[in-house]
């Protein structure tokens, strides 16, 4: 049956699609950077946000203050999401505090630069744990607590498809995140749980032009849109994929990269 649409009811639909009032959203690695931007965006949309962090307590307090000053609701929760016990405590706490879980954003990660010939096995394991093991542990714990369905969004990277030098461990982890996204979408779909990925390109952060001027210049010269992205760009993509507007979308990788991946291979 075709529904007749008017300007009025389209506006109402748009408002409803991106209204997360009283929905509970967990964001791992939320104290700073992209994670903080995602947490703030969902809070502004009405969600109750649970912001996980490992060691950045000062930044987590600053995020909480900012969200609350803007009228949002947030709980902060310290914990290492590479550890199964910490993950269990995080999601048990979510249900104790709020009674529900609607959205998980797997954002925790690290990206040290080390060459293949210099890298130790411990360095490899640490990056795989932070960027990939955490995604598995949190996805499993969240899905077990979503009896009525939900949405899971994994923050991957364009490096999961196009490797950067000195990042073999990170590249491999993010490629794993993309495949885990597909696998989880397949298995969890029958439970009403959608699983998608967002792959950012180069995202602006304080001091990046000073610390990596040549890299920023190369990026802006080769990227079709000619700029770095922001945490808000990534957050808006997450909001869409978690929203009712994306109700029939699962197993996708949404690149948020200003068109960088359109560059020719040769």
E strand intervals along the chain? 24-27, 48-53, 73-78, 103-106, 150-155, 193-200, 253-256
Q: What are the catalytic residues?
A: 170
d(CA 65, CA 69): 6
pLDDT, one tens digit per residue, over 46-82 is 999 999 999 889 999 999 999 999 999 999 999 999 9
Q: Order of strands across the sheet with 24-27?
A: 73-78, 48-53, 24-27, 103-106, 150-155, 193-200, 253-256
pLDDT, one tens digit per residue, over 205-215 is 989 999 999 99
Q: Answer for the pair 107, 38: CB distance below 8 angstroms, yes or no.
A: yes
Hey, what are 85's tokens? Answer: 């016990």
Q: Answer for the pair 25, 50: CB distance below 8 angstroms, yes or no.
A: yes
Helix (H) or strand (E) holding 135: helix 134-143
Average pLDDT over residues 9-13: 56
**What values do phi and psi take at 65, rounded to 5?**
-60, -45
Average pLDDT over residues 233-250: 98
The reported pLDDT for the residue numbered 1 is 46
Q: What is the mean pLDDT of the chain?
A: 94
d(CA 150, CA 240): 13
What separation in angstroms does the CA of 154 have from each of 6, 66, 100, 116, 250?
35, 24, 20, 26, 12
Confidence of residue 5 (pLDDT cuts 50, 70, 90): low
**What values do phi and psi take at 146, rounded to 5?**
-120, 65
pLDDT, one tens digit per residue, over 91-118 is 999 999 999 999 999 999 998 999 999 9
The reported pLDDT for the residue numbered 266 is 77
d(CA 147, CA 193): 9
The reported pLDDT for the residue numbered 12 is 62
DSSP assignment string, 208-237: HHHH-HHHHHHHHHHSTT-S-B-HHHHHHH
> 146: closest CA among 84, 213, 99?
99
Hey, what are 211's tokens? Answer: 């610390």
Q: Euclidean distance between the first and final Cα of the chain, in Å? A: 49
User: For residue 82, what is the DSSP state?
Assistant: T
pTM (2 d.p.): 0.94
Share of the chain above pLDDT 90, in %: 90
Question: Residue 14: pLDDT above 80?
Answer: no
**What values do phi and psi take at 148, rounded to 5?**
-110, 15
> 154: closest CA among 189, 194, 196?
196
d(CA 40, CA 34): 10
């Amino acid at each position: 049956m075709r529904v007749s649409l008017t300007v009025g009811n389209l506006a109402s639909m748009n408002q409803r699609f991106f209204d997360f009032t009283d929905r509970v959203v967990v964001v791992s690695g939320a104290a700073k950077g992209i994670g903080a931007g995602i947490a703030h965006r969902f809070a502004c949309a009405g969600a109750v946000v649970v912001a996980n962090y490992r060691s950045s307590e000062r930044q987590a307090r600053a995020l909480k203050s900012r969200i609350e000053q803007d009228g949002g609701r947030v709980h902060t929760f310290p914990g290492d999401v590479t550890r199964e016990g910490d993950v269990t405590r995080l999601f048990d706490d979510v249900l104790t505090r709020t009674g529900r879980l609607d959205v998980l954003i797997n954002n925790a990660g690290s990206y040290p630069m080390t060459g293949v010939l210099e890298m130790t096995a411990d360095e490899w394991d640490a990056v795989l744990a932070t960027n990939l093991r955490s995604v598995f542990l949190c996805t499993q714990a969240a899905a077990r607590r979503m009896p009525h369905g939900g949405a899971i969004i994994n923050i991957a990277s364009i490096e999961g498809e196009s490797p950067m030098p000195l990042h073999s461990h990170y590249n491999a982890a993010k490629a794993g995140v993309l495949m885990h996204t597909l696998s989880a979408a397949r298995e969890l779909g029958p439970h009403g749980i959608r699983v998608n990925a967002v792959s950012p390109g180069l995202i602006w952060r304080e001091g990046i032009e000073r610390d990596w001027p040549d890299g920023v210049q190369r990026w802006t010269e080769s990227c079709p849109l000619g700029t770095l992205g922001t945490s808000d760009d990534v957050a808006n993509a997450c909001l869409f994929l978690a929203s009712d507007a994306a109700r029939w979308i699962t197993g996708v990788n949404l690149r948020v990269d200003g068109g960088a991946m359109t560059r020719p291979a040769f």
